[in-house]
Each structure stands twice: as C-alpha cells, then as structure tokens.
Homo-oligomer: A and B are copies of this chain.
Amino acid sequence: MIIVIQCKDQVGLVAAISSVLAREGLNIVSLREHVDKTDNRFFMRVHVEQEAESDLLYKKLQEVLPPEAGISVNPLPEKKLVVMVTKEYHCLGDILIRNHFKTLGAAVQCVIGNHATLQNICQRFDIPFYEVPGEDDKTAFEGKIIDIVKKYNPDYIVLAKFMRILSPSFLTHFPGTIINIHHSFLPAFAGASPYKQAYERGVKMIGATAHFVTDQLDEGPIIAQQIIPVNHSHTAIDMMKAGKEIETAVLARALRLVFDDRVFVYKNKTVVFE
C-alpha cells in the first residue's frame, strides 16, 4: 500500500503520520520524506507492507495533518489514460505494447489524433481511436477533444508527440493531469524545430524532457530528462531519429514514475522519489 502526503511543513509531521500507521499495526517498508525549505513544503511517500482499509486510514491521517494537506491512501492500482498524438508513432507504439502486456501501470482508454495516421496501429491493439482534425476554429477543435476525454474521465492525458499547442482554456479542464514529451533537453531549444537548432549549434548531445503541461509553453514542471551523444556525422535528420529513441525512453520513464505515485508537483517543480 502506498501513501503519499503533501502539505505545509511543520515540526512533528513524520511522528504524527508514522504514529497513526504504527497504531494500525502497519509496517513501513520504505519511506521518503523531503522538505523544500524555500517553500516550506513537506512531501512524503510511504510504502507499507500490509493492506489496510483506505477510507478509515485516510480519515485518521486527516485528523493529524493540516486541513490543506493532500493525502492519497492506496492510490488506484491502475490509472486511466488518454493518449493524444499527431503522426509520429514511436512513443505511442511503446505505450501500446506495454499497455497490451499490462506493464504500463495504467490502462489506455483511447487515443485521439489530429491526423488519421496512427489509427491503424490503435485498431491492431483494439484501442479506440478518434480522429479530430485540426481546424481553423481552435475552440471547436479543442471542444471536440474535451468532450471525448471527459467521456473517459482519465487520471492522466499523455501528449505522445501531439504537435499542436493547447490553449490555456483547454488546460483548465484537466489541471495537473497532462504530461508532454518535449523533443529537447529543456530549456535548450524550446519551441519548434529543436533538432534543426541543435544541428546548427553543433551540440554534442541531444535530449528529451517529459513534463507536466501548464499554460506556459514548454515551461511546466519537469518530470524526467535524458540525453544521448551525437556528433559531426549526424545531420539534423539523424539527430531527429536519435532523438526519437530518447523521447520514447524518457516518456516511458516519466510515466512509470507518475503511475507509481513517485512524483509530486508543487509550483513549477516536481519532487520525484525514485
């Protein structure tokens, strides 16, 4: 059973929480606690050996914690996921394979694409695919997507190479649940054509960044980053190909961390208990 707690820091929080667990006869197998001194914010993830009645434990923890505390007891073992894509297959393919073999840690409910390119691969895995062509009317475009997503009520939305920028208005419908894979080692090469930029600058490494989406383009809380070496023999195209490998890997890692309840978001940063 996993318990995650986030609240304002104060002396005695660990004692209060762990005493509740001890009184319930629960043994703590693994505990990570971190206080962000800049923000005076407390983050904790506890893994206990036994199973307990979630609602009751939640209530007992609530009693000893500040009212604003975010508490999650025994988070759903399997999250629900909606994936949004454009034309590139690499991240979606990896997600579909893991989903099919039940090792993703979440269940893909449907895939939404602004092109039909990836419909066929979804069908092969019996995953519903919705084509929502990007139209001139962005409000209408996003409205259709919102309707589809709400039907599935997912815990998370993954932008697996979805190449359209979502409006702040869209984001307000799904606060804190949208994860994006950005094709560069942010904050380097934010915006479009990062591989072209990287090629022209002659960098020796390219990277990818998985982050939560906020209304600041490419500025949301970073979950995970990774890099791979490149050299003079890589054209911009070669860098893009190499980049796809690292995009796939870093998104898979970020999703694993999030689905395993290891990621806390506060302000524009994450606390990740790996």
- Write the residues of chain A forming the contact surface with B, with a CB cutoff of 8 angstroms: 9-16, 18-19, 21-22, 25-37, 49, 89-90, 93-94, 96-97, 100-101, 121, 124-125, 185-189, 201-205, 207, 221-227, 231-233, 245, 249, 252, 268-272, 274
Chain B residues contacting A31 (CB-CB under 8 Å) are: 14, 31-33
Contacts of A19 in B (CB 8 A): 15, 19
- Determine if A97 and B100 form an interchain contact, defined as CB atoms under 8 angstroms apart: no
Most chain B beta-carbon contacts within 10 A, residue among A15, A101, A187: A15
- Can you identify 12 A-B contacts, CB atoms within 8 angstroms? A9-B27, A10-B27, A15-B22, A30-B33, A32-B33, A94-B94, A96-B97, A124-B124, A202-B269, A202-B270, A232-B270, A232-B272
CB distance from A182 to the nearest CB of B (A): 12
Q: Which residues of B contact A22 (CB under 8 A)?
A: 11-12, 14-16
Nearest-CB residue, chain B, relative to A36: B232
Complex Cα spacing A215 to B12, Å: 44
Contacts of A34 in B (CB 8 A): 29-30, 232-233
Tell me how far the C-beta of A29 lies from the nearest C-beta in chain B, rounded to whole angstroms. Answer: 5
Return the contact of A232 from the options B124, B202, B203, B271 (Cβ within 8 A). B271
Complex Cα distance, B104 from A129, in Å, reads: 25
Sorted from nearest, which 6 A-B pairs have the closest CB atoms?
A202-B269, A188-B188, A12-B22, A93-B97, A31-B33, A15-B18
Q: Nearest chain B CB to A217's CB is how many angstroms away? A: 14
**Which of A21, A30, A204, A221 gathers the greatest number of chain B CB atoms within 10 Å?**
A204
Question: Of B97, B188, B233, which is within 8 A of A97 by CB?
Answer: B97
Task: Report chain B residues within 8 Å CB of A227.
Answer: 205, 207, 227
- Assembled-state Cα–Cα distance A101/B226 (Å): 24
Judge whether A11 and B35 touch: CB under 8 Å.
no
Nearest Cβ on chain B to A248's Cβ, whole angstroms: 9
Distance in angstroms between the alpha carbons of A154 and B38 in the assembled complex: 37
> Which residues on B sit within 8 Å (CB–CB) of A25?
11
Distance (whole angstroms) from the CB of A112 to the closest CB of chain B: 20
In the complex, residue of chain B having the shortest beta-carbon distance to the beta carbon of A220? B202
